[in-house]
Amino acid sequence: MENNRVHLSIENHVGIITLNRPEVGNAIDLQTAKELMDVSIFCSESEKIRAVVITGAGNKFSVGGDLKSFANEGDEISSHLKSVTAYLHQAISYFARMNKPVIGAVNGVAAGAGMSLACACDLVYASENSKFVMAYNKIGLTPDGSGSYFLPRLVGMKRALELMYTNRLLDAKEANEWGIVNHVVSEDKLMEVVLDLAGNLANGPMNAFGATKKLFYHSLQETLESQMSKESLLLAERANSIEGKEGISAFLEKREADYLKH
């Protein structure tokens, strides 16, 4: 795809999305948000892509919103931010709703909307030198990019508010302990480890992953009984799907399931 600020490459059925403004810490401006949305749509629809990785160019994941570009809008800043967040939020919605697993490879600072984007990924692997900070309240703003949705669900309400009020900066180890990060990896091994995982997931039952993702993300809005009802319906549906039949057959025949051909 011909994008300048967001780069997409495909390797072994893995869509690798790179925020590509290293000269400004991969800050998100209007064009970046729009390109991220375009890429998210492509990834959700492309049959060539079965898992997605999001990372940043250079030594940062993303410092968040491009405040300089926002301030340049003067009195039009409110309408401008509505446009930016319209694209950014639609992108995050597609990442959260797509069947493909989405893995964040946080290779440095993830601040503001950069931290929100990381929190929105299904799995997050971070380099040892990565840092996480919400940063919004420090400049008199409130979170965007799904931060107010995912952060309390990941760390709990008290810790989420602490991160917002105090702008506390978490290093990779703390972010791992708090449940924001799944694993901490050395800087030189980060992409190797993430791409190996993404490649394995791309060979897995993509539609089962997608159904599981929907179940988990919807669970906090359901009662016990309504959630179990969803579980019953999806389980029955998956068992009778091409993937389910291949998975069950492979188990009974004591062989590896081949989901790419099914």
Distance of alpha carbon 173 from alpha carbon 142, whole angstroms: 26
> What is the maximum span of the chain, computed from C-alpha positions, in angstroms?
67
pLDDT of residue 262: 62
Catalytic residues: 89, 144
Alpha helices by DSSP H, listed for 203-223, are: 206-218
Give the Cβ contact number of residue 65 at 10 Å. Answer: 28
> Going by C-beta distance under 8 Å and a sequence separation of 6 or more, which residues neighbour residue 160?
151, 152, 154
Alpha helices by DSSP H, listed for 98-205, are: 113-120, 147-155, 157-166, 172-178, 190-202
Q: Are strands 170-171 and 131-133 parallel, antiparallel or unpaired?
A: antiparallel
pLDDT of 2 strictly over 60? no
Q: Which amino acid is at 224?
A: L
Distance of alpha carbon 6 from alpha carbon 8, whole angstroms: 7
Q: Which of 105, 107, 124 is nearest to 178 (CA)?
A: 124
Instruction: Report yes or no: 17 and 55 within 8 Å, Cβ to Cβ.
Output: yes
Name the pLDDT band for 220 (thresholds 50, 70, 90): confident
| Two structure tokens written together for 160 | 């989420």
Name the pLDDT band for 189 (thresholds 50, 70, 90): very high
The residue with tokens 């039949």 is 245
pLDDT over 90, % of the chain: 98
pLDDT tens readout for residues 3-26: 699 999 999 999 999 999 999 999
What is the four-CA torsion angle of 24, 97, 199, 115, rounded to 10 degrees? 30
| Two structure tokens written together for 241 | 């799907």
- Identify the sign of the CA torsion 124, 130, 132, 136: negative
Instruction: Report yes or no: 118 and 134 within 8 Å, Cβ to Cβ.
Output: no
Mean pLDDT along residues 247-261: 95
Q: Which amino acid is at 82?
A: K
pLDDT of 1 strictly over 60? no
Per-residue exposure over 214-240, b if at least 16 CB sit within 10 Å of its own CB, e if not: eeeeeeeeeeeeebeeeeeeeeeebee
Instruction: Identify the three-state secondary structure at position 42.
Output: helix
Q: Which residue has the higher pLDDT, 261 or 199?
A: 199
Mean pLDDT along residues 242-251: 97
Distance of CA 183 to the CA centre of its chain: 15
pLDDT of 180 strictly over 70? yes
Name the pLDDT band for 261 (thresholds 50, 70, 90): confident
